[in-house]
Amino acid sequence: MDKLELQKIANQIRIGAINAVHCASSGHPGGSLSAADILTYLYFVEMNIDPKNPKMDERDRFVLSKGHVTPGYYATLANRGYFDVSELATFRKVGTRLQGHPAMQYIDGIDMSSGSLGQGLSTAVGMAKAFQMDKKSNRVYALCGDGEIQEGQIWEAAMFAGSNHLDNLTVVVDNNNLQIDGSIEEVNSPYPIDKKFEAFNFNVITIDGHDFDEIAAGFKAAREFKGKPTVIIAKTIKGKGVSFMENNVAWHGSAPNDSQCDQAMADLMKGEVA
Amino acid sequence: MADKIATRISYGETLVELGKIHEDLVVLDADLAAATKTDMFKKAFPERFIDVGIAEANLMGIAAGMSTCGKVPFCSTFAMFAAGRAFEQVRNTIGYPHLNVKIGATHAGITVGEDGASHQCNEDLALMSTIPGMTVIVPSDDIEARAAVKAAYETYGPMYLRFGRAPVDVINDFEGYKFEIGKGVKLKEGKDITIIATGICVGNSLEAAKMLEADGISAEVINIHTIKPLDANIIIESAKKTNRVFTVEEHSIINGLGSQVASTLGENHPVKVTKIGMYDVFGESGPAAELLVKYQFDPTGIYNQIKAKL
C-alpha cells in the first residue's frame, strides 16, 4: 500500500472520528487525530489480522492503552471492515457497542478493554509474555499517550517487558505533548521519554508520527530488533488535520458543534483532494 | 480430627497437582511466592511461573493479558494488595471484560499475625463482591481449599479466592462432602439459632455450637464458602426454621458475609441478624492464635459473643 493510499485512509479515519464525536456530542477528538496515522498503518499494513476472522489465533494483538481515543480507534476498525462505518453514529449512545472506552465484550476485533490509563500496557505485556512462553510468532502492539506515561503502572509494565526481553512487543507513545490540564511539561514532565525507556531496557525509536515513511521504517525496525521490546516515540500534533483543533488542548475531550463540525470536515476534505 | 493446615499450603499444592494435568495453567506472583506458596508451582513448572516483582497492579494486568491468549492464570499476592492496592486493576481490567483470571489471595484477615494491621486485610470480601461477575470464595479448611482451587480452574470467569496464613483444623473430612461454587454446606442441624460462618471461622463456629449445645441451645451451623454468588436458599431455609441468625467472619462486619446475609434475609425472611466480625477497627501485631482470642474469633469468643446477644 503506497503512501498516498495510506494518507487517504487516515483522512477517512479522521472524518469518521470527528463524525462520531459530533454525533455523540461527546468524546476525544484531539488524541484521535494525533494517533490516526499510527492506527492506519497498524491496521492497514503492519498487523497480521483478518476482520473476517477477528479471533484467529495467529493474529497480532493491539491494546489501546490510551483508551479514550475510541473515535479514532473505532473509525479505524470500521474502515478496516470490522463493522459498518454507519455504526460510528451510535458512539457513546445508550445501547451502543461503541462504548466511550474500548470494551472487548462488545466487538470482536477489540483485543482488550481499556480506558483506565496506565492499565493497557500491562495487558499487552501479558499477551507478549504468553506468546513468548509458547514460542509463537504473534506480535503485540500497545498505543500509549504521553500524558498516560505519568501513571506508575506504565513503568511497572515497562520494567517487566525489558527484563523479560519481550521483543515481540512494540509500544507506541503518541507524543502530542498535551494533556487535559495543559502541556505535559507544564503538568508533570515525562521527558526525556527516550532515555527513560532506554533505562528500562527498551529499543527506542523516535519518528514523525504523521510521516508514513518514518512510521513504516519505525515498525520495520521494531520487528527486526531482537532481545528487547521496542518503543516508538511518535512525535505528533494533537488535533492533526483540523486547523482549529491542532495543538489546542481544549479539543482533548470536547465535541464540535454543527458549524465547527462543518469546518472540520472542510479541512479534512482538503486532505481528500490532495 | 486431622492435623491443622493453612489453606495457603492447600492452594500451593493444588496448583502443582493441576499443573501436571493442564498445560495452559500459569501461575503469577509478586515477590511473595514463598509466603503465598506458589513457590511449589515455581519449583515444579519454572517455565510456567512468572514473578512480576513487587508490582501488584502490573500483576493483574499481565494476568488479564495472558488470559486472552489461551492461558488460565492464577495470580497471587497478599489479600491486602490483591483486593486493596490492585482493586481498580481487578475491577477494570479483569472484572469488566469478565476475563478468566483467578486471584489467589493469601494472608487475609487478622491471622496474618505479627505483620500487623498494614497487612491484615479485613476489607477484601467487600471490595471483590462489588465487582459485577466476580466469584468470591473463602475455603474453610484444607479439603475445601483444594476443591475450590480445582473448581476455579474448571469454571470460566474472574474469581477471587481467599486463603489464610495460619493453620486451621480440617473439618470437611466427612463422608459425602461435596464442593460446589455457590452452594453452602450445612455442617450441623439445629433448631434454636443459625450460625453462618465463612473461612477459618467455620471450624471455630462448630466448636462454639457444641458449647452452646451444652447450655441447651441448639445451633445450626452453615458454611458459606462462596460469598458471591451467595446461596440464598440455604440461608433463608435455616432462618425460617430458627428465626435467629448469627454470622461469623474474619472480616469487617461492613459489607462482608454478614451484610450479605442480612440483606438477603431482609428481602426474603426478615429475622434478627447479629454480625460477628471485625467491628470497624484495624487489627494489630501479635501471634495469630492470640489475636483470634483478643478479637473473639476463637470458639470461646464466638460462644461468648453469641450468648451475650441471645
- A127 part of contact set with chain B, CB < 8 Å: yes
Helix (H) or strand (E) holding A265: helix A258-273
Q: Residues B212, B277: one domain? A: yes
Domains and CATH numbers, chain A: 3-273 (3.40.50.970)
Q: Residues B149, B288: one domain? A: no
Are A112 and B62 an interchain contact pair (Cβ–Cβ within 8 Å)?
A: no
Question: What string of pLDDT tens digits covers the 274 residues of chain A?
Answer: 899 999 999 999 999 999 999 999 999 999 999 999 999 999 999 999 999 999 999 999 999 999 999 999 999 999 999 999 999 999 999 999 999 999 999 999 999 999 999 999 999 999 999 999 999 999 999 999 999 999 999 999 999 999 999 999 999 999 999 999 999 999 999 999 999 999 999 999 999 999 999 999 999 999 999 999 999 999 999 999 999 999 999 999 999 999 999 999 999 998 775 5
Residue B169: inside a domain? no
**How large is the average pLDDT for residues B117-121?**
97
Residue B33: inside a domain? yes
- B70 part of contact set with chain A, CB < 8 Å: yes
Partners of residue B106 on adjacent β-strands: B78
B93, B128, B162: which is the final residue of a domain? B162
- B26 part of contact set with chain A, CB < 8 Å: yes
Closest CA in chain B for residue A158: B58
Q: Residues B143, B70: one domain? A: yes
Are B58 and A122 an interchain contact pair (Cβ–Cβ within 8 Å)?
A: yes
B93, B127, B162: which is the final residue of a domain? B162
In 3D space, the residue among A167, A123, A178, A101 whose CA is nearest the CA of residue A145 turns out to be A178
Report the CATH number that the domain containing residue B285 is assigned in CATH.
Answer: 3.40.50.920
Residue B237 annotated to the active site: no
At residue A270, the pLDDT reads 86
Closest CA in chain B for residue A111: B68
Which among B13, B17, B23, B56 is annotated as catalytic? B56
**How large is the average pLDDT for residues B180-187?**
98
Model confidence at B238: pLDDT above 80: yes
Q: Residues B144, B215: one domain? A: no
At residue A274, the pLDDT reads 54
Rounded mean pLDDT of chain B?
97
At residue A273, the pLDDT reads 56
At residue A271, the pLDDT reads 73
At residue B286, the pLDDT reads 98
- Which tens digit of pLDDT belongs to each residue from B155-172? 999 999 999 999 999 999
**Partner B, chain A 62-91, Cβ-Cβ below 8 Å:** 63
Residue B1: inside a domain? no
Are A104 and B62 an interchain contact pair (Cβ–Cβ within 8 Å)?
A: no
Are A123 and B65 an interchain contact pair (Cβ–Cβ within 8 Å)?
A: yes
Q: Residues B244, B128: one domain? A: no
Model confidence at B1: pLDDT above 90: no
In this complex, the residue of A103, A116, A129 whose CB is nearest that of residue B62 is A129
Model confidence at B272: pLDDT above 70: yes
In whole angstroms, what is the distance from residue B303 CA to residue B119 CA?
27
> B218: buried, middle or exposed (CB in 10 Å: 19+, 13-18, 0-12)?
middle
Chain A residues in contact with B88 by the CB 8 A cut-off are 116, 119
Are A156 and B58 an interchain contact pair (Cβ–Cβ within 8 Å)?
A: yes
Residue B89: inside a domain? yes
- A108 part of contact set with chain B, CB < 8 Å: no
Identify from A62, A64, A160 which residue to disrupt to test chain B contact, counting B C-beta atoms within 10 A and taking the largest count.
A160
Q: Residues B16, B156: one domain? A: yes
Are B97 and A156 an interchain contact pair (Cβ–Cβ within 8 Å)?
A: no
Residue B176: inside a domain? no
Let me know: does B155 contact B181? Beta carbons within 8 Å.
Answer: yes
At residue A1, the pLDDT reads 87
Q: Residues B101, B51: one domain? A: yes
Q: Residues B37, B143: one domain? A: yes
- Which tens digit of pLDDT belongs to each residue from B10-50? 999 999 999 999 999 999 999 999 999 999 999 999 999 99
Are B57 and A105 an interchain contact pair (Cβ–Cβ within 8 Å)?
A: no
Q: Residues B199, B284: one domain? A: yes
Are B68 and A111 an interchain contact pair (Cβ–Cβ within 8 Å)?
A: yes
Identify from A106, A122, A134, A137 which residue to disrupt to test chain B contact, counting B C-beta atoms within 10 A and taking the largest count.
A122
Report the CATH number that the domain containing residue B130 is assigned in CATH.
Answer: 3.40.50.970
> Percent of chain B at pLDDT above 90?
99
At residue B2, the pLDDT reads 56
Which amino acid type is present at position B29? D
Q: For every residue of chain B, which 3-state class applies, written as one string?
A: CCCCECHHHHHHHHHHHHHHHCCCEEEEECCCHHHHCCHHHHHHCHHHEEECCCCHHHHHHHHHHHHCCCCEEEEEEEHHHHHHHCHHHHHHHHHCCCCCCEEEEECECHHHHHHCHHHCECCHHHHHHCCCCCEEECCCCHHHHHHHHHHHHHCCCCEEEECCCCCECCCCCCCCCCCCCCCCEEEECCCCEEEEECCCHHHHHHHHHHHHHHCCCCEEEEECCEEECCCHHHHHHHHHHHCEEEEEEEEECCCCHHHHHHHHHHHHCCCEEEEEEECCCCCCCCCHHHHHHHCCCCHHHHHHHHHHHC
In whole angstroms, what is the distance from residue B38 CA to residue B270 CA?
43
Residue B93: inside a domain? yes
Are A160 and B64 an interchain contact pair (Cβ–Cβ within 8 Å)?
A: no
- B42 part of contact set with chain A, CB < 8 Å: no
Residue B175: inside a domain? no
In this complex, the residue of A129, A153, A159 whose CB is nearest that of residue B66 is A129
Q: Residues B129, B246: one domain? A: no
Domain interval for residue B158? 7-162
Identify from A153, A168, A171, A200 which residue to disrupt to test chain B contact, counting B C-beta atoms within 10 A and taking the largest count.
A153
CA distance A44 to chain B (A): 23
Chain B residues in contact with A133 by the CB 8 A cut-off are 26, 47-48
Chain B residues in contact with A156 by the CB 8 A cut-off are 52, 55, 57-58
Q: What are the helix (H) ranges across A179-257?
A: 184-188, 193-199, 212-224
Q: Residues B17, B104: one domain? A: yes
Are A112 and B97 an interchain contact pair (Cβ–Cβ within 8 Å)?
A: yes
Q: Residues B222, B281: one domain? A: yes
**How large is the average pLDDT for residues B278-301?**
98
Are A61 and B88 an interchain contact pair (Cβ–Cβ within 8 Å)?
A: no
CA distance A65 to chain B (A): 11
Closest CA in chain B for residue A62: B65
ipTM of the complex as predicted: 0.96
Model confidence at B57: pLDDT above 70: yes
Residue B224: inside a domain? yes
CA distance B90 to chain A (A): 10
pTM of the model: 0.97
Identify from B47, B48, B69 which residue to disrupt to test chain A contact, counting A C-beta atoms within 10 A and taking the largest count.
B69
Please state the domain count of chain B: 2
CA distance B58 to chain A (A): 6
Are B64 and A122 an interchain contact pair (Cβ–Cβ within 8 Å)?
A: yes
Size of interface A-B (CB pairs under 8 A): 106
